[in-house]
Structure 1
Amino acid sequence: MTPDQAPSHPRVAGLLLAAGGGRRLGGRPKALLRHDGALLVERAARALWDAGCARVHVVLGAGAEEVRGRAELSGCVLVDNPGWGEGMGSSLRAGLRSLGGTDARGALVGLVDQPGIGPEAYARVLDAFSGEASLVSAAYDGRRGHPVLLGVAHWAGVAGAARGDRGAREYLRAHSAEIRLVECGDVADAYDVDTGADLGRLRPGGAH
């Protein structure tokens, strides 16, 4: 899996948080759930490539070895997060840390359990990147959601505030005046796959 065309933003990396263990899904790693004929981790990584990211880092945790063995993620940098059980915050910290040695000046952050968000929404948020101080969030009917774009000037602050399952939430709340919201409700559906009931929204073999 590699980009089909030159990246539209060569200084922005895609950062996919795919470490969740799916405790409310019987312990199945979310990355290995299927939708429209592909694994969720494959779909989300492809969406980041197709949006125009220069590189894609995928943070793995639950079932990491199985994900490595089953998912087509060639071209992606796979980041192991042994502390994934602590929550999304630990994966965000691991992902940002993995970008520290690259030339990326921004990170476009997506979640593996939101298959209703595709390349159109990622591209919209990515196109709002304006430099190292960028702080951009998708919005759905005016409410902030994912993906989120973090300029490198914010990485240390986000990592310091990312605890438990809150991810970047506390940091974004504290810096709400700086956030540029990009409406994506017309091109994406930001539902989460968290419970057994949510599995009904997936089409493992594809659309019929």
Structure 2
Amino acid sequence: MTSRPTIIVLAAGKGSRFRGDSHKLEQDIGSGSVLASTLKNVLASRLPFLVVTTAPLEAATRRHVAARDVVVVPEANGSAMLGMGYSISAGVCARSDASGWLILPADMPLVQGATLVAVAQALDHHPVAYAQHRGRRGHPVAFAAELYSELATLSGDEGARRLTARYPAYGVEVDDPGVLVDVDTLEDLSAVRARQAQQPPDAARPLQ
């Protein structure tokens, strides 16, 4: 087994609540696109990672990461079998030798690399861990290798909620409000852009 957990970046959703002129992950937030900013923070963690995406976003994803770190799944299009659970399963199965997996939605561009590391470390002592800020539960959510068989059989759009309810989950308190911030709507996008505009120049440097 590998010595460190793998981050599974979920970039396969259609973003149906977002009413912009292009996919929400392709929207610019001042430090690059939403997707690029999320991947920048993932790379900063220096943890192994994999991006699960769909064909329409494959090219945008591969501009930032190697092809070996991308898994392309079918678009859900109303299928009861596809969705977030299917994406998690695809990512976990593609990295079945990992010591655990951190599930990070790609529309969370403010989650810091240090937060990812802190949650990954919690898997040394807990089967399930998640980031929280001021007591509020956020992402990523992480699962130890002992839960592989259950993660590998997920399907549909439920995600891994039933696993977090079934197993003791440990909240990792972090000084990172980004664990609570995703981009689901145009209002969310405006709020993230405003936060990014307040960052120091080095923190706002785009992913190359």
Taking structure 2 as the reference length, the TM-score comes to 0.78
Aligned to 2:65: 73
How many residues end up aligned between the 2 structures?
190
Q: 1:144 aligns with which of 133, 137, 140?
A: 137
CA 1:75–1:129: 2 relative to 1, 3 Å:
farther
Instruction: Kindly indicate whether the alpha-carbon contact (under 8 Å) linking 1:20 and 1:29 is maintained by their aligned counterparts in 2.
Output: no
Letter in structure 2 aligned against 1:95 = G
CA 1:143–1:162: 2 relative to 1, 3 Å:
farther
Aligned to 1:193: 183
Take 1:117 and 1:62, find their aligned partners in 2: how far apart are those partners? 25
Q: 1:130 aligns with which of 124, 131, 142?
A: 124
Instruction: Kindly indicate whether the alpha-carbon contact (under 8 Å) linking 1:47 and 1:119 is maintained by their aligned counterparts in 2.
Output: yes
Q: 2:83 aligns with which of 81, 87, 90?
A: 87
CA 1:76–1:42: 2 relative to 1, 3 Å:
farther
User: Alpha-carbon deviation of 1:93?
Assistant: 1.4
Letter in structure 2 aligned against 1:202 = V
SS at match of 2:143: strand
Letter in structure 1 aligned against 2:64 = E
Matched, 1:34 2:23: no
CA 1:188–1:124: 2 relative to 1, 3 Å:
farther
What does the per-residue CA deviation read over 1:120-152, in whole Å, with 9 as the maximum and x for residues that have no partner? Answer: 221221222317x63211123323321111111
Letter in structure 2 aligned against 1:64 = L
Structure 2, unpaired ranges of 5+: 199-208
Instruction: Kindly indicate whether the alpha-carbon contact (under 8 Å) linking 2:52 and 2:70 is maintained by their aligned counterparts in 1.
Output: yes
**RMSD of aligned Cα (Å):** 2.6
Instruction: Kindly indicate whether the alpha-carbon contact (under 8 Å) linking 1:138 and 1:146 is maintained by their aligned counterparts in 2.
Output: yes
Instruction: Kindly indicate whether the alpha-carbon contact (under 8 Å) linking 1:30 and 1:112 is maintained by their aligned counterparts in 2.
Output: no
SS at match of 2:177: coil
User: Alpha-carbon deviation of 1:110?
Assistant: 0.8
Taking structure 1 as the reference length, the TM-score comes to 0.78
Take 1:68 and 1:163, find their aligned partners in 2: how far apart are those partners? 23
Alignment map for 1:55-70 (pairs within 5 Å): 55-61=48-54, 63-68=56-61
SS at match of 2:41: helix
Instruction: Kindly indicate whether the alpha-carbon contact (under 8 Å) linking 1:137 and 1:149 is maintained by their aligned counterparts in 2.
Output: yes
Take 1:34 and 1:76, find their aligned partners in 2: how far apart are those partners? 25
User: Alpha-carbon deviation of 1:76?
Assistant: 5.9
Letter in structure 1 aligned against 2:182 = D
What does the per-residue CA deviation read over 1:41-73, in whole Å, with 9 as the maximum and x for residues that have no partner? Answer: 2222222232231x210001262344246x322
- The structure with the greater share of residues assigned to strand is 1
Letter in structure 1 aligned against 2:176 = V
SS at match of 1:57: strand
Letter in structure 1 aligned against 2:25 = A
SS at match of 1:34: coil
Letter in structure 1 aligned against 2:84 = M
Question: Equivalent pairs: percent with the same residue?
Answer: 27
